[in-house]
Amino acid sequence: MVSKQLNKVRKFEQKYLPHTKAEQPAFHVTAGVGWLNDPNGFSFYQGEYHLFFQYHPYDVKWGPMHWGHVKTKDFIEWEHLPAALAPDMNYDSAGCFSGSAIELPDGRHLLMYTGVRNIRNRNGRIESFQTQCIAVGDGVDYTKYEGNPVIAADQIPEGGSVHDFRDPKIWREGDTFYAVIGNRTADKSGAILLYESRDALHWSFAGTLASCHNQYGKMWECPDFFPLDGKDVLLTSPQEMTAIGLEFHPGNANVCLIGTYDRMAHHLNRENVHAIDYGLDFYAPQTLLSGDGRRIMIAWMQNWETSSCVDQKLGFMGQMTLPRELSVKDGHLYQVPVRELEKYRGVRVVYQNLLINGDISLNGISGRYLDMTVSIRPANPGQMYQWFRIYLAKDGEHYTMIRFRPNLGTVKVDRTQSGFPHDIVNVREFPVYSGDGNLKIRIVMDRYSMELFINDGKYAASFVLYTPIEARAISFSADGYVYADIEKYELIQEPASVNPLREEGIV
């Protein structure tokens, strides 16, 4: 049965969603109308990929959380479906918080989410009580389980907080279901708890997979845990991170813990810890296993710190990253845009062995919907260049700058002139450890964003831009002598197979 609250949001969507297309990014998921944060329920269900998201349809700011819903066949072209969940039960009256989804053996689609209930305490303060809940459906309509909540306070290990107990990520191995859930423990920092179940309805606590011990931020939100390339990978998004060098920035950050899972102890033995994405806008990633066996990750391309900085004209707030294919090499997580993006490549322009010294603009290299790879090396290895810069989304007033300094081994991105009317953090510098002057940087731009994939995806960095779409110039600049190979594709909204226009320009 569709509740009053869900019916209201579905009617609202029917009225407003059809009119929002023009201002939207071409390839990135948004709510269409209203506010979006974390990806939820990213799953392969009956031959299609479903994505739900934290959703407040009625405003461009966070509010009582619903689950919005989109689906896709190729990770690039998305179709909006009616909202899936509304906060309409006592146990989720303050919001249906983040969670995940899985196809059940009987063909139904199961959503597992955090139900939040607010209660005023004796001091007059509102406290949130968080439990784990289930809804089951057919890919469009979902019914909340009458036995909700399925994991409540009595199943939190001693010292754990019921106020910070959220974001279940479910998976299945044979006939056992598992879920990892974020929790704040007695030392006031985060831990990832592991639960198991035979039927996804009755759960028991299995162990603590990983603990923060105040080392990487505080509460660990939105965990995801999966095996990949012979290693075990835990992704989580810590709150209140303290900066650690250039690796971790303060505030809401993101962390990848790579190691080996001890199945008996239910514990991840860490071997390496690094940031997942080094940009300004990345949080709460979630993964799925695709039909052809790829581990694919999507994240909220935004940061809580800057999420109140809305471009009021747009009518939506928040977007997802492009889905990314993950791999682990030499103990490090690599990520590249899903290969399906290549179907949306249009005109290709290539420059090879181009000598750059000073400033240069190039015929055919401009645009705002693009997929461009720039590989650079010192022209004279005996004399290292000082820096190399790429300017994008440029006109007389705007630009976004990417700078590489070989002697520091860092990339810096500056979006101060990228259309934000807010005094927020607009610069980020991060390590890429390449002192030999060689760097390969892939840049994917959509209407309101830029995602970087450096050295074949070893480092990724995501940035929201609000630069007017007319600012399309691109230029390059080097202090010293640099050889560059540049390959640029325009991205088009229909796949290349239906767009006959495919020219090549090799220089």
Residues annotated as catalytic (active site), given as ranges? 38
Decide if residue 38 touches ligand FRU (CB under 6 A).
yes
* Nearest distance in Å: CB 110, ligand FRU: 18
* Nearest distance in Å: CB 117, ligand FRU: 14
Q: What is the size of the binding site for ligand FRU (CB under 6 A)?
A: 13
In the set 24, 30, 43, 98, which binds ligand FRU (CB under 6 A)?
98
* Nearest distance in Å: CB 304, ligand FRU: 7
Cβ pair 6, 83 in contact under 8 A: yes
Decide if residue 222 touches ligand FRU (CB under 6 A).
yes
Dist CA 309 CA 170 (whole Å): 33
In the set 30, 37, 100, 366, which binds ligand FRU (CB under 6 A)?
37
In the set 114, 254, 286, 449, which binds ligand FRU (CB under 6 A)?
114
DSSP 70-125: EEESSSSSEEEEEEEE-S-SGGGTTEEEEEEEEE-TTS-EEEEEEEEEEEE-TTS-
Q: Judged by CB, which is closer to ligand FRU: 220, or 466?
A: 220
Decide if residue 97 touches ligand FRU (CB under 6 A).
yes
In the set 167, 232, 277, 446, which binds ligand FRU (CB under 6 A)?
167
Amino acid found at 397: E
Amino acid found at 59: D
Q: Judged by CB, which is closer to ligand FRU: 284, or 376?
A: 284
Q: Judged by CB, which is closer to ligand FRU: 237, or 418?
A: 237
Q: Please, what sign has the CA dihedral across residues 77, 83, 84, 86?
A: positive
* Nearest distance in Å: CB 98, ligand FRU: 3
Decide if residue 371 touches ligand FRU (CB under 6 A).
no
Query: For the CA atoms of 78, 82, 85, 88, what is the dihedral angle to 10 degrees?
Result: 160
Q: Judged by CB, which is closer to ligand FRU: 240, or 487?
A: 240
Dist CA 444 CA 40 (whole Å): 24
Structure-block tokens of residue 6: 């869900």
Q: Which residues pair with 256 in a beta bridge?
A: 235, 274
Cβ pair 137, 84 in contact under 8 A: yes
In the set 81, 284, 401, 471, which binds ligand FRU (CB under 6 A)?
284
* Nearest distance in Å: CB 56, ligand FRU: 9
Q: What part of residues 46-85 is at the interface with ligand FRU (CB under 6 A)?
A: 54, 65
Decide if residue 91 touches ligand FRU (CB under 6 A).
no
The DSSP output letter for 366 is B
Structure-block tokens of residue 334: 């690599």
* Nearest distance in Å: CB 146, ligand FRU: 23
Q: Judged by CB, which is closer to ligand FRU: 222, or 441?
A: 222
* Nearest distance in Å: CB 52, ligand FRU: 12
Residues in the chain: 507
Q: Judged by CB, which is closer to ligand FRU: 37, or 132?
A: 37
Indicate the SS3 state at residue 217.
coil
Decide if residue 221 touches ligand FRU (CB under 6 A).
yes
Decide if residue 189 touches ligand FRU (CB under 6 A).
no
The tally of CA atoms less than 13 A away on the side-chain side of residue 311 is 16
* Nearest distance in Å: CB 239, ligand FRU: 8
Q: Judged by CB, which is closer to ligand FRU: 253, or 392?
A: 253
Dist CA 293 CA 247 (whole Å): 30
Q: What is the 3-state secondary structure (H, E, C) of 250-286?
A: CECCCEEEEEEEECCCCEEEEEEEECCCCCCCCEEEE
The DSSP output letter for 447 is T
Decide if residue 298 touches ligand FRU (CB under 6 A).
no
Q: Please, what sign has the CA dihedral across residues 234, 86, 34, 141?
A: positive
Q: Judged by CB, which is closer to ligand FRU: 100, or 449?
A: 100
In the set 69, 166, 274, 345, which binds ligand FRU (CB under 6 A)?
166
Q: Judged by CB, which is closer to ligand FRU: 211, or 286?
A: 286
Q: Please, what sign has the CA dihedral across residues 92, 93, 99, 101?
A: positive
Decide if residue 236 touches ligand FRU (CB under 6 A).
no
* Nearest distance in Å: CB 502, ligand FRU: 40
Dist CA 32 CA 368 (whole Å): 20
Decide if residue 283 touches ligand FRU (CB under 6 A).
yes
Dist CA 464 CA 426 (whole Å): 10
Q: What part of residues 378-397 is at the interface with ligand FRU (CB under 6 A)?
A: none
Residue ranges in contact with ligand FRU by CB under 6 A: 37-38, 54, 65, 97-98, 114, 166-167, 221-222, 283-284
